[in-house]
């Protein structure tokens, strides 16, 4: 079985250590949530896995390949196999939805064809199928900057999906979304994981969401892993270790939509209802 293995992974920015000696093994087909307060090192960890940030120390291996040694075409292939979904979507607003999704095929087609937008019928079909899977096919011809945040994030997930990846790294994909769109985006990631068997590593600040969607949680604090286990094993004391003074907020505070409507949404309660 294909495994992603991190050994002693460390990243320093000057005198600041953002990630400090992280060692993890992620089994193929799992849905892992990386949790912790802002600045814990979650985003830096995912960006090192994709090699967007180069590790200062340590190694990354996948299915016998030393990812940290890859260069040139081999590195581009790894980034195709290990797709990123970003908090800020990273879509081209002036282009239509279908074209943005097709950008996920850039690593699989000749550069000249991509520059001339000469996409094959098979590529277009794959993009439309991905959009249809997540209820976005009707928006294929619409400009991305005319979509809501939740719709844009689903487009970004579709773009990642057409890369035909083995792993999806989602970096705070719901940070700027309301509860309804949070649910839609997380449902999309869970569908990819369960129905297609794609491994998902997802950075999440919201503890309730992590508990409801992830098979395993990895808790980070000050760049180090301080918890690694099943969601049910995350105790109040561990939550306080992870979030400190933010613990009460991430466990019990109402969402913005709940505050404005007075309606409690079933997926927005944390430790006390778990």
**CATH classification of the domain holding 29:** 3.40.50.300
E strands, 172-238, where?
199-204, 216-221, 224-229
pLDDT at 245: 56
- Our count of domains for the chain comes to 1
Number of Cβ atoms within 10 Å of the Cβ of 38 = 10
Query: Tokens 């913005």 — which residue?
Result: 256
**Residue 217: which domain range?**
3-273
**Distance (Å, rounded) from C-alpha 46 to C-alpha 43?**
5
pLDDT at 109: 63
Q: Are 107 and 50 contacting, i.e. CB atoms less than 8 angstroms apart?
A: no
Q: What angle do CA 10, 52, 208 make, to 5 degrees?
A: 75
**Distance (Å, rounded) from C-alpha 184 to C-alpha 174?**
10
Q: Across the 274 residues of the chain, what is the mean pLDDT of every consecutive 10-residue run?
A: 91 96 96 94 96 96 94 92 91 93 79 65 93 94 94 94 95 91 94 96 92 96 95 88 65 42 39 30
- Cα-Cα end-to-end distance for the chain: 32
């Amino acid at each position: 079985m294909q495994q992603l293995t991190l050994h002693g992974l460390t990243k320093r920015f000057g005198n600041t250590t953002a990630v400090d000696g992280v060692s993890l093994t992620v089994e193929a087909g799992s849905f892992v949530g990386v949790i912790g307060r802002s600045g814990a090192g979650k985003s830096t960890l995912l960006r090192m896995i994709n090699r967007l940030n180069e590790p200062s120390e340590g190694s990354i291996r996948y299915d016998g390949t030393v990812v940290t040694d890859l260069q040139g075409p081999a590195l581009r292939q790894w980034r195709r196999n290990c797709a990123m979904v970003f908090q800020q979507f990273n879509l081209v607003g002036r282009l239509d939805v279908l074209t943005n999704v097709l950008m996920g095929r850039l690593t699989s087609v000749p550069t000249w064809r991509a520059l001339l937008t000469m996409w094959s019928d098979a590529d277009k079909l794959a993009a439309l199928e991905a959009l249809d899977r997540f209820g976005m096919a009707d928006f294929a011809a619409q400009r991305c900057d005319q979509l809501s945040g939740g719709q844009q994030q689903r487009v970004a997930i579709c773009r990642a999906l057409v890369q035909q990846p083995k792993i999806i790294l989602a970096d705070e994909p719901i940070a700027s979304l309301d509860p309804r769109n949070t649910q839609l985006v997380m449902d999309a990631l869970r569908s990819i994981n369960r129905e297609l068997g794609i491994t998902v590593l997802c950075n999440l600040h919201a503890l309730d969401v992590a508990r409801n969607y992830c098979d395993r949680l990895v808790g980070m604090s000050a760049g180090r892993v301080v918890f690694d286990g099943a969601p049910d094993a995350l105790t109040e004391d561990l939550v306080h270790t992870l979030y400190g003074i933010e613990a009460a907020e991430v466990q019990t505070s109402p969402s913005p939509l709940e505050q404005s409507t007075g309606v409690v949404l079933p997926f927005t309660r944390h430790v006390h209802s778990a």
